[in-house]
Amino acid sequence: MPEIIDVEAKYRGWCTLYLATVRLADGRTITRAIEDHGNAACVLPYDPDRRTALMIHQLRPPTLHAGGVATLLEAPAGLIDRGEDGATAAQREAMEEVGVRLTALEAVADVWTMPGVSTERMALFLGVYAQADRIAQGGGVDGEHEEIEVIEMPLAELAAMADQGRLTDLKTFALVQTLRMKRPELFV
């Protein structure tokens, strides 16, 4: 069985970048990079009565660098703070990013987001809201320069985007498809 025999921190900042030496089952060793920035949570807030979801556009420098795409359409998400669980973090992020109070969440999965390079696990949730639950403006936390635009859009439009390959954020794609499987009547 493979085992990590050495880990050296190469950079510490918002994330920590490690260089790991791994001994393979046959005794050979390989070196791999590991990025660690903690775990995260994501929620798809949806209104079953109006058949809408609350989404964001947010500046994403990595996608701008790699593909010339400055923002992605995404479900609210963020890092889990110390002492929080995934559900609490998802509720906090929904309030900060889209201004909605979510009281009950449906757990979908706890997934590895990029297992080839990152230690991040993301807790995925669906969250029902009504118009009365939109109690704040959203847009992110002041001073964090998140550049978040809040968008309420029809679930049917999200499904069409997924079908056309235009819903390119993986966590959002997974949540939209999960909701489609569980509640197909909301997408007509």
CATH number at residue 153: 3.90.79.10
With a threshold of 0.85, does the pTM exceed it?
yes
136 closest CA partner among 1, 72, 45: 45
- Is residue 137 within 8 Å of 99, Cβ to Cβ? yes
Query: What pLDDT digit, counting tens, does each position of 100-121 carry?
Result: 999 999 999 999 999 999 999 9
**What is the total count of domains within the chain?**
2
Confidence class for position 125, pLDDT limits 50, 70, 90: very high
Are both 20 and 75 inside the same structural domain?
no
Are both 27 and 50 inside the same structural domain?
no
pLDDT value for 4: 97
Query: What pLDDT digit, counting tens, does each position of 53-95 carry?
Result: 999 999 999 999 999 999 999 999 999 999 999 999 999 999 9
Nearest-angstrom CA–CA distance, 165 and 167: 6
Question: Which H or E run includes 172?
Answer: helix 170-182
Are both 10 and 50 inside the same structural domain?
no
pLDDT value for 2: 95
Are both 11 and 92 inside the same structural domain?
no
